[in-house]
Structure 1
Amino acid sequence: AIKHVPLSWLTDLRARLNAEITDAPGDRFYLVGETFAYDNRELLRSYVDPDTMLDGQFDFPFKARLCEAVFTPTGNLGAFGTWMDGNDGFYGPGSIMTTWIGNHDIPRPIHFASREITNCREGSNPDNGWNWRPSQPTGPEAYERLGVSYAIMFTNPGIPLMYYGDEIGLAGGGDPDNRRMMPWTEGSLNEHQRALREKVRALGQIRGAHPVLGRGRRVTVSSDADTWVYRMTGCGDEDVLVAINKADAPRSVTLPAGSYENLVAGGNVSGGSTMLGARSFLILGPVP
């Protein structure tokens, strides 16, 4: 909690790091802080300056708005895209925020995605940490919504943070119930947990193979309340196209003309009208 640390300590730490650590070419000693504030970006920004303070912070405003856009029935992806356009450069030149949807301070995100929790700013308290022990959701919907949120997080700038167990939609209320033992055996997972884990695995591999997803510039192609199509560009010659449907029913989107490689499922996809399944996404690259 960097807001509880004297600012002089932070500036001294950064000065020592700058003076005593030589980064390898292309590397950076990343210094990140936590300020638990969903609706005060100015407070988060006041500690961010890669030269003298933090490189970035855990992006609490991003978490709240992604949760509202994807998990709630009235969420609006188009409005979220507009908010993201204003958030991209908000923290200043050279800043790199840490994006996240779950951490150790709040109930597990699967319960936001299942709509058991409707307040996307819910924290931990005695009622949800000790008295409410939610069970593992059994239907596919919550896991698919969580997968959509991860697709957005892994295809946008920032450093994605995954709290252990969130890759399988592990159940858990507030702290300390959100620290349940990790189930390691295949037989302990339901089919939807395994499917979510494979999506997360694919998203990590795709992000690693396509630097534009973390370092590029996002250009919205189209958006409405339920869908969002955007292109990540400006990082070399290779663009990546992302199409999101957060609705609980299939939706049609129009892709720019061309032929693309489906980076998630394999095969090729042509531009034009494309149907996205309920709570699904496409990530498309150039045909090799």
Structure 2
Amino acid sequence: MAPKLSIADVLTLPKSTVKIPRLGFGVYKSPTNQCEESCINAIRAGYRHIDTAQLYGNEAEVGHAVRKCGIDRKELFLTTKILTPGDTPEETYKKALESVRKIDGEEGYVDLFLVHSTGSGAEGRKDMWLALERLFAEGKTRAIGVSNYGVKHMEEMKAYAKTWPPHVNQIELHPWCQQKTAAAYCKEHGIILEAFCPLVRNKKASNTVLVNLANKYGKTTCQILIRYSLQKDWVPLPKSDNPDRIKANAEVFDFDITDDDMAVLDGLDEEAGGAIVKFVGNE
């Protein structure tokens, strides 16, 4: 049987007392003139976890929403990411610190800070991780992790990381891209898996299997995909700027997908061929 879940549910990060909400709200490509309102709508709908990044260009707007929403900052879980290092370790650190300040002010913090990509090479990855460890030690972030990391990248970290395993690995996850090797490694080491693109950017909305399941459960295809992520013990990060869809995407706690139907969705996996953004390298 599927676990009974609620929108208030959390997971505990590895070797930490920090708890991450099971459902997140993504703001990738949310325009700066829309992002603040979308975040406020998400918080009103019950989300307590917002995921942004330097790449998205809307960290400040997320911060504005947090200050305006009427919810105590301590009740919210805010994530950002650094994509590339600076020219020196100090510049890399300052680059990360600036994100914290954009989101939560001079004396503020973020709840989770991720290295966004493996694309800067081994030295770049190391520099960014060490900068995040410095923020972590200073209390400027409550947890640190990675994104788009395969097994080889997480193993590489052991040579220099004081904080290991990373608390989180955020990778593309949905029925067509289940990243089984990386997922198994993260499960073995207690690393929380966050699912970006859990809705496959709506590219599978007409898929016969998905549509049939949506009809069976009286749910939208998006709700089926989010519930699937939750029952896989992933932390899905659905994104929308449409107020009705933002609300609907949080209404996934009043039904369970049966084990048989979860197996049907599991059977859709296309491995690397199913990725629309990134299939991580593991060797």
TM-score over 0.5 for the pair: no
Q: Comparing both structures, which one devotes a greater share of its residues to strand? A: 1
Structure 1 length-normalised TM: 0.32
Structure 2 length-normalised TM: 0.33
